[in-house]
């Protein structure tokens, strides 16, 4: 059985993208949210994308962006898929005719992934993160891994405060399709650490 997939998000430099792939990442994420320390512009994302080897997914991440801004990224960067991290409606998400994953803000007390799956049936997956609705991710914080949370029959990506030390427990708790990490493999916001990326993927492989 294929190991749990790994997305390393918040890539801002070509060297970090290459190191992520060398470590075994299946996907890298570009953050198109101006207030993030991991924000990249279209030309930066395009240059990194052009440096990538084949068969690595490139995820373009947005938080309540203007539709025109999303389309500009699609047209110029040609990402593999989109990630909507804010309060984007199902109609907004499907309007781009691109595969997408929708973030579920597990920082909300009543977060119900099964309900989100029902509301976004066309999503290619749900990314369960620790943020509150409409708030940024990349905070390095876990959400409460309650044992009674109903999980939908849709590919789940677990995110929020993961690192090489706790990702195995996340995999045992959720049996996810993939895990997503940003802070836990960084030496500074937006600066990825190759050794931490290798340790993270190794931990996923051991657990998966």
**Which residues are annotated as catalytic?**
9, 129
Least distance in Å: CB of 39 to ligand LARABZUK? Answer: 7
Of the pair 5, 38, the CB lying nearest ligand LARABZUK is at 38
- The distance of closest approach from Cβ of residue 53 to ligand LARABZUK in the complex, given in angstroms and rounded to an integer, is 22
C-alpha 132/C-alpha 139 separation (Å) is 11
User: Minimum distance between the CB of residue 20 and ligand LARABZUK, rounded to whole angstroms?
Assistant: 12
Report the site for ligand LARABZUK in 127-146 (rule: CB under 6 A). 129, 136-140
CA proximity to 101, closest of 24, 21, 176? 176
Query: By CB under 6 A, is residue 113 in contact with ligand LARABZUK?
Result: no
Count of residues that bind ligand LARABZUK according to CB under 6 A: 25
Stretch that binds ligand LARABZUK, among 14-22, 27-35, 118-126, 145-153 (CB under 6 A): 27-35
33 is an interface residue for ligand LARABZUK by CB under 6 A: yes
The answer to whether 105 contacts ligand LARABZUK (rule: CB under 6 A) is no
List of residues contacting ligand LARABZUK (CB under 6 A): 9-10, 29, 31, 33, 36, 38, 61, 63, 85, 129, 136-140, 159-162, 180-184
């Amino acid at each position: 059985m294929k190991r749990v997939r790994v997305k390393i998000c918040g890539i801002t430099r070509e060297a970090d993208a290459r190191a992520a792939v060398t470590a075994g990442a299946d996907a890298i994420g570009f953050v198109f949210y101006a207030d993030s320390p991991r924000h990249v512009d279209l030309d930066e994302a395009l240059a990194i994308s052009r440096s990538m080897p084949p068969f690595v997914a490139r995820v373009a991440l947005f938080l309540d962006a203007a539709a025109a801004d999303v389309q500009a990224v699609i047209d110029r960067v040609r990402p593999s898929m989109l990630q909507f991290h804010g309060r984007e409606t199902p109609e907004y998400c499907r309007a781009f005719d691109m595969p997408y994953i929708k973030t579920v803000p597990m920082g909300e007390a009543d977060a119900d992934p099964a309900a989100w799956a029902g509301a976004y049936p066309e999503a290619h997956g749900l990314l369960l993160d620790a943020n509150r609705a409409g708030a940024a991710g990349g905070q390095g914080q876990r959400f409460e891994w309650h044992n009674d949370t109903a999980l939908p029959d849709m590919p789940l990506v677990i995110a929020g405060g993961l690192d090489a030390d706790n990702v195995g427990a996340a995999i045992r708790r959720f049996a996810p399709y993939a895990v997503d990490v940003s802070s836990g493999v960084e030496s500074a916001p937006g600066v990825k650490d190759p050794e931490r990326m290798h340790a993270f993927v190794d931990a996923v492989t051991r657990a998966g």
